[in-house]
Structure 1
């Protein structure tokens, strides 16, 4: 049921809702009935969408508010529709700029555009993640990938596929909080992240979970290694099972707001 404020905005087409209307519970209830859109199979066109549809029901990092959406213009009044959006930068499929971890580091608008189009490497750890929620990409996983597929291309974007998106049907299992409110989900080990930066020259890394680190890493080793070296990360990727381990190209539609530490982005794989 919509709050009175949302009903009034929709009826009157008011152009300037209050901050509370945009960012508060009113914005969340506008789409409360929606559920996360399931990942879709790869289309025949050779373009795979690696982006989850952003809705208020999509899981966010514990303590962060879900996105909010408030109608501020309607077709019946003025001929145009428009929503005011409210969300924290690190919501949905989103980019981590180096400044997210390192004070004074590169922000969203400073990212090199050449780094946003890159060879895509997918390292599949779904088998061990199925039985270990704290599984990580290790040096052994990287070496196993290389034994199967050859060298990691220069200036690649390396993504972890853990199969975690299958848990979105029950969002609490995607967050996977323990009794202390600590999330448990796969990520990169700090050692693997350091290796990919120092030895493979990657431009960025991605995961299909909410964090580059596994949930129990108290030191955020992967964040520190990737972002501390000036690379970017993309979290909560979708449909990685629909792209090959090697041979595709990733296109990251990164946000570009001044001083940003990250933001929702559209990510495509060209196969």
Structure 2
């Protein structure tokens, strides 16, 4: 399916689901905030090492539509004024960034309304890099979540689940976004996994690729189900391969502009 067709299909889906998700978003946000408070004991294991999970954001960083996500204009010149200042034009969903519920729901929470307590979470990392080596559009599915639980124990309520697909190694290449013939190709979450994680009371999901959904998704099924439930997502997470499967705490420095559907964020983990 062409990029424009995908976007048009998403618009139609969002409108048809508006009334369905309005109530779910409000109740979901309250439940997630409560889960975040109960998750505090799971965040006490960190030893103090900080891992920066944020890419440097410039005009060359890959974006979904291929256009630069940031533009600079000199507002104050140092030689003339003794200080310097840029005027920035930024696309919300570019660089390492957060997806707020409002991104895929007409009346969902904007980024400034996300409860602060849900932005500090126990972090669980699920590794699907072996699958992604053979399939550029590999998806983290329910069986991957179940395998993680079998190996590591229960996922805490209010946690953030990060996907490690190994895709960060491609970030400086065209393959981070698409195949040589221009088709989207990158790993993401499968709806079977996010439905299960929602039942577990997870607050957020994070991908080390360009999107929460795999590149070949025809309908953004994860965006359309996860975000309207009052949960948030993170895309383009860096250095995920430096994190343990469990025991770290993630700090999501979400932007706080009114009516925001998301935005570039500084994401840190304490390990």
Q: TM-score, normalised by structure 2?
A: 0.80
Aligned-pair CA distance for 1:45: 5.7
Q: How many residues align?
A: 225
Superposition map of 1:32-71 within 5 A: 46-71=49-74
- In 1, are the aligned partners of 2:204 and 2:231 still within 8 Å (CA)? yes
Task: Tell me how large the CA RMSD over aligned residues is.
Answer: 1.4
After TM superposition, give the deviation of residue 218 of structure 1 in Å: 1.1
Confirm or deny that 1:131 pairs with 2:98.
no
Instruction: Give ranges in structure 2 of 5+ residues lacking alignment.
Output: 1-46
SS of structure 2 residue aligned to 1:153: coil
Instruction: Tell me the alpha carbon deviations over residues 78-135 of structure 1, each in whole angstroms, 9 at most, x when there is no partner.
Output: 1111111112100100000001011111101111101000000110101110111010
Moved over 6 A (4+): none
- Describe how 1:91-130 pairs up with structure 2 within 5 A: 91-130=94-133
Query: Does structure 2 retain, via aligned residues, the 8 Å contact 1:97–1:231?
Result: yes
In structure 1, stretches of 5+ residues that fail to align are 1-43
CA distance in 2, matches of 1:89, 1:220: 18
Q: Which has the higher contact order (CA 8 A, sep 6+)?
A: 2
What are the Cα deviations for residues 174-224 of structure 1, in whole angstroms up to 9, with x where unaligned? 111463x431110000111111012x1011110011110001111211112
Residues 51-98 of structure 1, C-alpha deviation per residue, up to 9 Å, x if partnerless? 000011110012543311122212211111111111210010000000
Structure whose alpha-carbon radius of gyration is higher: 1
Once the two structures are superposed, what CA deviation does each residue of 1:211-243 show, in whole Å capped at 9, x if it has no partner? 100011112111122102110001000001111
Q: Flag the structure with higher helix content.
A: 2
Q: Which residue number in structure 2 is paired with residue 154 of structure 1?
A: 157
Deviation larger for 230-239 or 71-80: 71-80
Question: Is the deviation greater in 58-67 or in 88-97?
Answer: 58-67
Match of 1:9 in 2: none
Alignment counterpart, residue 90 of structure 2, candidates 87, 94, 97: 87
**TM-score between the two structures when normalised by the length of structure 1:** 0.80
* Preserved CA contact (<8 Å) 1:64 1:88: no
